[in-house]
Structure 1
Amino acid sequence: MTMRPPEPPDFGPMGPPLDSDLTQPVPQHWLNETTTNVAPVEFDDDDYRREPANIRGVVAALGIGALVAVAMGVYGSAHEPTGEALNLAGFSDGLHAKAWLGSVAFVLAIVQVLSAMAMWGRLPGFTAGHGTAVLHRWSGRVAVIVSLPVAAHCLYALGFQAFDTRVLLHSLLGCFFYGLFVCKMVVLTRSRTPGWAVPVVGAAVFTALVGLWVTSSLWFFSEFGVSL
């Protein structure tokens, strides 16, 4: 008489009891023949690999900004100052116009900083919106436009001077400011820019502008009074 192996028990839809030996192969008749076979999901490691930051782009931007700063310093030193280059209606002379336009650029730079802090969520009690971004862009554009006549007056009429500490510092900060500004514009056009690049360069631009205002407009108003 031939002995047949016993049929595996049918545990029903609830599956085998908790104390069953799960290391044994599952009999075919336990499987639901109507189950749809799903192809295994393949994962690409590149999907989880973060793209490297474009450090070379930041270095290139710094190099371009440095060239601009050096070029301005060389031109200011080699150029023979004319003594007068800016004569705007409403101002008594070029120095008054330079002091006031520099102050306008300084105020707009403060707006730039506050709007940037709001957009980065660093301004307590204020939620940034679309208007904040528009204000940030246009305050920067107007600040640069306002500063251009001041830069032209400094380079063409006064040149790079160093007869005292304040004047030397002002001349250096002027070259430093426009070099950093060009660097910031280049950084903004680069892809995969590191997250720290724009805030750091922007803070440096603002610091340079504050130094320019202190060594020019604030000094001028302190010495000659607030007048047009």
Structure 2
Amino acid sequence: MVSAERETAPGKRVRPGARAIVIPLLAGAAVSVLLGVYAKTHEPAGYSVGIAGFSSAQAMKTWLASVSFLLALCQFASALVMYGRLPVAAPSWIGAVHVWTGRLAVLVSVPVAVHCLYAFGFQHYDTRVLTHSLLGCFCYGAFVAKMLLLTRNGLPRWAIPIAGGLVLTGVTGLWLTSALWFFQHNGLTL
């Protein structure tokens, strides 16, 4: 074990990958907290962004969140192929699919997040809404941590899959507490 560790202070040893993980995790946690603080302290405007073609801001958010969720599921499936967890040979293009579905998922989620932050802020009037507010902050913090981890060398093999899993968990929870709820109460309204 001594060869896999280095001396940092008298009597203390740190694994080489620890710093590579800790800094992105702290940055992600800071993003989560800052989003939560901003959302809680700013006065909700009740409106924000709108995209033509939707009947309401809620419908826009619901459909964009659904597209983002589907792209996150594509990310999950492509990651399973890349990591050899599915009984298929990884095609040469799977990495590009993974990268581009991730980029599109984030791009599609930004209007939703901006609308939620600016129009509603951090709400907690019932369990579903509180859970949604917490997951929104968590999800973007986990995303920042994952993106920073991708730039690090010397990570344990499990670090990126765990970070990706946390982002997927956040996106899934957000979809369940918003879009699914909307579809159940309003149908498939555009």
- TM-score scaled by length of structure 2: 0.91
Please tell me the residue identity of whatever aligns with 1:103: S
1:127 alignment partner, one of 77, 81, 89: 89
Contact 1:61 1:187 in 2 (8 A): yes
The offset of 1:130, in angstroms, is: 1.9
1:113 paired with 2:76, answer: yes
- Structure-1 residue corresponding to 2:137: 175
SS of 1:157's equivalent? helix
The offset of 1:93, in angstroms, is: 1.1
- Structure-1 residue corresponding to 2:9: none
Partners in 2 of 1:187 and 1:66 — Cα distance? Answer: 13
Percent identity of the aligned residues? 53
The offset of 1:87, in angstroms, is: 1.1
Q: Give the count of matched residue pairs.
A: 179
Contact 1:80 1:159 in 2 (8 A): yes
- Structure-2 residue corresponding to 1:44: none
2:183 alignment partner, one of 197, 212, 221: 221
Please tell me the residue identity of whatever aligns with 2:179: S
- Structure-2 residue corresponding to 1:36: none
Q: Which runs of 5+ in 2 are unaligned?
A: 6-14
2:17 alignment partner, one of 45, 50, 54: 54
Deviations 1:154-183 (A, max 9, x none): 000010000000000000000000000000
- Structure-2 residue corresponding to 1:104: 67
Matches of residues 172-211 of structure 1 in structure 2 within 5 Å?
Answer: 172-211=134-173
1:81 paired with 2:29, answer: no
1:146 paired with 2:112, answer: no
- Structure-2 residue corresponding to 1:136: 98
Structure-2 change in CA distance of 1:92 and 1:139 (3 Å):
same
Please tell me the residue identity of whatever aligns with 1:174: G
Higher helix proportion: 2
Matches of residues 18-29 of structure 1 in structure 2 within 5 Å?
Answer: none
Partners in 1 of 2:86 and 2:16 — Cα distance? Answer: 27
SS of 1:189's equivalent? coil
The offset of 1:50, in angstroms, is: 6.2
Contact 1:53 1:194 in 2 (8 A): no
The offset of 1:86, in angstroms, is: 2.0
SS of 2:188's equivalent? coil
Please tell me the residue identity of whatever aligns with 2:24: A
Report which structure shows greater RCO (CA 8 Å, sep ≥6).
2
Partners in 2 of 1:135 and 1:216 — Cα distance? Answer: 27
Contact 1:86 1:97 in 2 (8 A): no
Partners in 1 of 2:140 and 2:51 — Cα distance? Answer: 23
Which has the higher Rg, Structure 1 or Structure 2? Answer: 1
The offset of 1:53, in angstroms, is: 4.0
- Structure-2 residue corresponding to 1:63: 26
SS of 2:93's equivalent? helix
Please tell me the residue identity of whatever aligns with 2:28: G
The offset of 1:204, in angstroms, is: 0.8
Structure-2 change in CA distance of 1:61 and 1:103 (3 Å):
same
- TM-score scaled by length of structure 1: 0.76
